[in-house]
Amino acid sequence: MKVIISGKGGSGKSTISVLTARALSDRGYKVLLVDGDESNVGLHRLMGISQPVVFMDNFGGKKGFKQRLNQAFPKGNADEILGRSMKFDDLPDECVADVDRIKMIAIGKIHNEGEGCACPVGMLSKMVLSRLVIEDDEIVIIDAEAGVEHFGRGVVAGCDMVICVVDPSFESFMLAKKITDMAESAGKELCFVLNKVDDNVEDAMCKNIDKGKVIAKIPNSNEIFMDSLEGRKISTDIPEIGEICKKIEESKKNFSSE
Ligand SMILES: Nc1ncnc2c1ncn2[C@@H]1O[C@H](COP(=O)(O)OP(=O)(O)OP(=O)(O)O)[C@@H](O)[C@H]1O
Ligand SMILES: [Mg+2]
């Protein structure tokens, strides 16, 4: 299963990605946690480690990668860059961090002012995800950038399931509707995780969301908030994350029996 975590900026995508990756690892899965957000600075930090080499930088950055693409494409495809398929172990060691039995990789980052658009990062994400061949005990969790760019760039096409994180805001409800349409047109299973849920917002959230697609309600947690405020790794256990794992396991079973 390759599961992409989508949603509005600040809704909690990175937090849910990290907590879900940890919970799946605790259940015995080999997890690859992919930082697919070119703008964030913090996914590794949320796991309490510093950033290893960014995958795109291994190709000489965006410039080097674009040159490799230009060389490859006249011949018809980009297989000569990453091969026709990849396994977890084919990812370059220098780009992969092993933390809490989870492998982590960041696809690409914007480093400098004026360096151009992030399309090559989307391209590389798409190439990696569509080539990754995973074993039955392996799961990939992708922390996407905010909004819907990953749909536009075709990154979602290489995933099996979309989890849209919804926080208590009208913008989040609107985006959830848009993501519902986009996931449907991409032919991908879509679920919602309601995040930062307090008693006083739960009813309003449920009213504005297709309830049948809600797989978990993650409480508003002061521990998560304080870890973030003070720049610590996320240390809290949130039992409701287990509901996300159950759904991923269930979809994984259906997926492998198809
Ligand atoms: N359940 C929660 N309870 C309390 N605070 C939360 C919860 N989930 C996330 N947060 C806080 O909300 C903020 C945004 O979270 P996070 O960085 O995970 O969101 P994001 O969707 O990945 O943001 P971005 O779009 O910038 O990548 C952080 O301060 C985080 O600690
Ligand atoms: Mg994030």
Give the Cα separation of 211 and 177 in Å (integer): 12
Instruction: Read off the pLDDT band of 75 (50, 70, 90).
Output: low
Ligand 2 centroid distance, CA of 88 (Å): 23
Testing ligand 1's pocket by substitution, the residue of 225, 236, 237 carrying the most ligand atoms inside 8 A of its CB is 225
Tell the residue number behind the tokens 């991409």, with chain if given.
186
Report the DSSP pairing between strands 30-36 and 97-99: unpaired
Atom of ligand 1 nearest to the CA of 219: 1
- What is the rounded average pLDDT of the residues 37-53? 89
Instruction: Read off the pLDDT band of 138 (50, 70, 90).
Output: very high
Give the Cα separation of 51 and 45 in Å (integer): 8
Please state which CATH class domain 2-257 belongs to. alpha beta
- Parse the chain into domains and list their residue ranges: 2-257
Q: What pTM was estimated for this model as a whole? A: 0.95
Is the CB–ligand 1 distance for residue 220 below 6 Å? yes
Q: What are 185-238's pLDDT values in tens digits?
A: 999 999 999 999 999 999 999 999 999 999 999 999 999 999 999 999 999 999
